[in-house]
Amino acid sequence: MKNFLFGLILGGIIVFGYFFIKENPENSYVVQTKTRINNMFNKTSPVGIANPASTYCIENNGTLEIKDESEGQIGICTFSDGSSCEERAFFRGECKPGITTGTQTDNTIEQPIEEPTICTMEYAPVCAKVAIQCIKAPCEPIEQTFGNRCSMNANKLATFLHEGECKTDQKECPQYAPPSPDFCTEGTIQDGGTDQNGCQLPPKCVTKE
């Protein structure tokens, strides 16, 4: 008899609970707990949409890409012209479409590495004008002979002039015969010095007064 009464009471509680949950689902602890669990496991959020910088990128027709860096993840905003900015730099106006190269972060921009020029040892001389970088005042460029065009092009300050070696402006000096034995019998032979072109002049005789 006791078991029957216990079973009847337990059944009544179950039936009452069923209809209570059915009629009041918003107040049900079970339903609320189940909802929390579903929200926890089914929670999804688009990458970066909650981030103002990410939203700004997308609103300005950019494509957002998340990259893993040594210091963590960063968002790269790529534009239709192929240029890209770090999303926060773009949001702050520190980077604009069309003027960036490489991968930009908050503090650094990785510039493309320029490969060194490798030239052959073929000797095909060319003459070029080479700009001289002076500290205090502008300097006139000089002419310089390079072994070939490749070596000339490797020098960013060189401008091609003509094929072949550079010509010098030095003039040929005249050749003087040595003085005769009786050239300066009553005086002293002294060096004649040089002319305006740097050529040696013949000796001169200086007499005593």
Query: How confident is the model at residue 132, as a pLDDT?
Result: 79
Judge if pTM exceeds 0.75: no
Residue boundaries of the structural domains of the chain: 46-113, 126-163
| pLDDT tens for each residue of the chain, 209 residues long | 656 666 677 767 776 665 655 555 555 444 454 455 455 444 444 444 458 888 888 888 889 898 888 878 888 999 888 888 988 888 888 888 876 544 444 444 555 555 666 787 888 999 999 887 766 666 788 889 999 999 898 888 899 999 998 886 556 777 777 888 888 888 888 887 777 766 788 888 888 76
Q: How many residues does the chain have?
A: 209
80-102 residues labelled b (16+ CB within 10 A) or e (exposed): eeebbbbbbbbbeeebebeebee
Enter the DSSP assignment of 200. Answer: B
Query: How confident is the model at residue 6, as a pLDDT?
Result: 66
